[in-house]
Amino acid sequence: MFITFEGSDGSGKTTQVPQLVEFLCEKGCRVFQTREPGGTPIGDQIRTVLHDLKNKGMHAHTEILLYAASRAQLVAQEIQPRLAAGEIVICDRYADSTLAYQGYGRGLDLTVLRTILNFATGGLQPNLTLYLDLSPAEGLRRRQQAAQSGAEWNRMDAQSLEFYERVYAGYQTLIAADPARWVTISANGERDTVQTQIRAVVAARLGL
Ligand code: TYD
């Protein structure tokens, strides 16, 4: 079972994913948790380049190829072997982020992106994708607040609100095109309420 989390920046994936992993481990599941970009030593080096505020001049084609490079390494080194060994793999962001951010956000050709994604992942698709739904304006507000308390403010955080609105609309299009794979959960509620909903969806899928 390959489960991915998607959503706008600030939607709380990074808080929710470890809590889901804890729940599944308590149920006796073998779970591997990872994130993108990064998740491998090579991928983490690529992540540093992608997030560095000094790299404002990065061309959109360079950006997509770096995300794809990080993902290719993660799929080959971690995700595929663990799925083959029967583990549940949970990934904070995956190929849909590229379609949403580089495709709908930056306006890159979706057909070209899908070809690159297919090459990078060997065609590996998640069985289930949980979308944490938060408005772009609220996401920006939460991230600015977190940054004031010392959280990372990276090159992707520094995009305009209009960019995040295109990303948001892009996710809605992706969800509508493949409703069997996606489950939308409102990220507006309290953390615990969001986690309860996530656990219920995953438990039902896994028959726990
Ligand atoms: P990160 O700090 O991991 O944010 P979050 O906790 O919200 O996931 O930063 C990841 C950033 O990279 C985020 O702004 C989304 C962006 N991104 C892309 O633009 N394309 C991609 O393919 C991926 C995986 C991420």
H helix or E strand, kind and range, residue 200: helix 191-206
Q: Determine which residue's CA is closest to atom 12 belonging to ligand 1.
A: 156
Bridge partners (DSSP) of residue 116 are: none
* Ligand 1 atom closest to 7 (CA): 7
Q: Ligand 1 center to residue 119 CA distance, Å? A: 20
pLDDT in tens, 136-147: 999 999 988 998
State pLDDT tens for residues 83-133: 999 999 999 999 999 999 999 999 999 999 999 999 999 999 999 999 999
CA distances to 97, 144, 154 from 169, in Å: 13, 22, 22
How far does residue 207's CA lie from ligand 1's centre (Å)? 30
Give the distance (Å) from ligand 1 centre to CA of residue 81.
24
Q: Is the CB of 37 under 6 A from ligand 1?
A: yes
What residues make up the domain containing 83?
2-206
Counting the structural domains of the chain, the total is 1
Question: For residue 152, what pLDDT band results from cuts at 50, 70 and 90?
Answer: confident
pLDDT greater than 90 at residue 74: yes
Q: Which CATH number covers residue 23?
A: 3.40.50.300
| pTM, full prediction | 0.95
Dihedral sign for Cα 146, 147, 151, 154, please.
positive
pLDDT of residue 151: 87
